[in-house]
């Protein structure tokens, strides 16, 4: 029997809306089924606020957001897309209130926070050096503000719709994650189980030292800057756009878009990582 849907408030901060666009591309299930049907037997979500997707704009839309937390405290899931500017209130406002203030307040009343995309998870591109706006991810913001609420990161630039669906399904079935469910970067281990490199179709080329030296050539893309050996993501399995293609299959190196130090560490994107860079890179957070 279908229970009461879990209300979802989707809050957009400093980002490009690419994660929302990616979610609209969800294929299995598609976005209609995701929002209207059961995600797992008996459990579903209802999207109560999403500035890009909802019908109302301006004041009527803000009036919906202003209801939270209010009487809904403890009864909704907060999804955050985009990094949070902290250096000055005017670097990001929603309805005239600073994004950081809104985000912390909404998180305080939520049953949990899902940070979608690398920006909301760790700061991402808005926090790239020299980070003039002082952007941070939700986990860091809530640490600074002393807000104690479970946070799950679902990074990716953008996030893959499957990663969002799998994370929400996990939360619906199991509730807040236990510490052992998360890796050192705050992601569900079940959703980010392997390195791209582990399952890459060009792995055989890597193992025998057959490296591409030009884009479009056959062979492993490591010499062209591929960060697959340092990036946890199951892109080789799910691929993108409903399974049409993905970075490496299209001949483009993995740029490490799911990792906490993206984009500063993988840059320059098309340069092979030195051994020293690799050693102090992503694996240090596991
Ligand atoms: S293309 Fe990248 S992920 Fe694939 S085997 Fe080469 S280095 Fe690893
Ligand atoms: S292959 Fe790498 S850069 Fe491409 S989407 Fe997956 S994790 Fe991101």
What domains are there in the chain, each with its CATH number? Answer: 6-181 (3.40.50.700), 194-286 (4.10.480.10)
d(CA 100, CA 138): 9
CA of 115 to the centre of ligand 2 (A): 18
Residue 97's DSSP bridge partners are 94
Q: What is the pLDDT of residue 280?
A: 57
> Is the distance from the beta carbon of residue 137 to the nearest atom of ligand 1 less than 6 Å?
no
Cβ neighbors of 241 (< 8 A, separation 6 or more) are: 25, 27
Burial of 107 (0-12, 13-18, 19+ CB in 10 A): buried
Catalytic annotation present for 258: no
The pLDDT, as a whole number, for residue 1 is: 61
Ligand nearest to the CA of 272: 1
- 232-240 mean pLDDT: 95
The residue ranking higher by pLDDT, 245 or 1, is 245
Over residues 80-103, mean pLDDT: 97
Distance 261 CA to ligand 1 centre (A): 19
Do the beta carbons of residue 84 and residue 128 sit within 8 Å?
no
Average pLDDT for 36-53: 90
pLDDT at 174 over 70: yes
Q: Does 278 score more than 80 pLDDT?
A: no
Q: Is the pLDDT of residue 276 over 80?
A: no
Q: Does the pLDDT value for residue 270 go beyond 60?
A: yes
Model pTM score: 0.95
């Amino acid at each position: 029997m279908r229970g009461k849907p879990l209300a979802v408030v989707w809050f957009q901060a400093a980002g490009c809306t690419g994660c929302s666009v990616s979610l609209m591309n969800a294929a299995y299930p598609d976005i209609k089924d995701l929002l209207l049907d059961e995600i797992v037997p008996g459990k579903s979500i209802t999207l109560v606020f999403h500035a890009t997707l909802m019908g109302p704009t301006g004041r009527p839309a803000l009036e919906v957001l202003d209801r939270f937390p209010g009487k809904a405290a403890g009864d909704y899931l907060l999804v955050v897309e985009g990094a949070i500017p902290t250096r000055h209130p005017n670097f990001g406002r929603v309805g005239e209130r600073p994004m950081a203030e809104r985000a912390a307040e909404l998180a305080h009343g939520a049953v949990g926070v899902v940070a979608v995309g690398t920006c909301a998870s760790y700061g991402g591109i808005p926090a790239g050096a020299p980070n003039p706006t002082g952007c941070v991810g939700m986990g860091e913001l809530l640490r600074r503000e002393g807000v104690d609420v479970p946070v799950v990161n679902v990074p990716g630039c953008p996030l893959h719709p499957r990663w969002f669906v799998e994370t929400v399904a996990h939360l619906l079935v199991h509730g807040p994650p236990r510490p052992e469910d998360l890796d050192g970067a705050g992601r569900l281990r079940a959703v980010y189980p392997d390195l791209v490199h582990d399952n890459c179709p060009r792995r055989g080329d890597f193992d025998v030292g057959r490296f591409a030296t030009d884009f479009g050539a056959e062979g492993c893309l490591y010499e062209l800057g591929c960060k697959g050996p340092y990036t946890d993501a199951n892109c080789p399995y799910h691929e993108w756009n409903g399974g049409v293609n993905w970075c490496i299959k299209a001949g483009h190196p993995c740029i490490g878009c799911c990792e906490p130090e993206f984009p500063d560490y993988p840059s320059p994107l098309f340069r092979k990582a030195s051994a020293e860079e690799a050693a102090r890179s992503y694996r240090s957070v596991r």
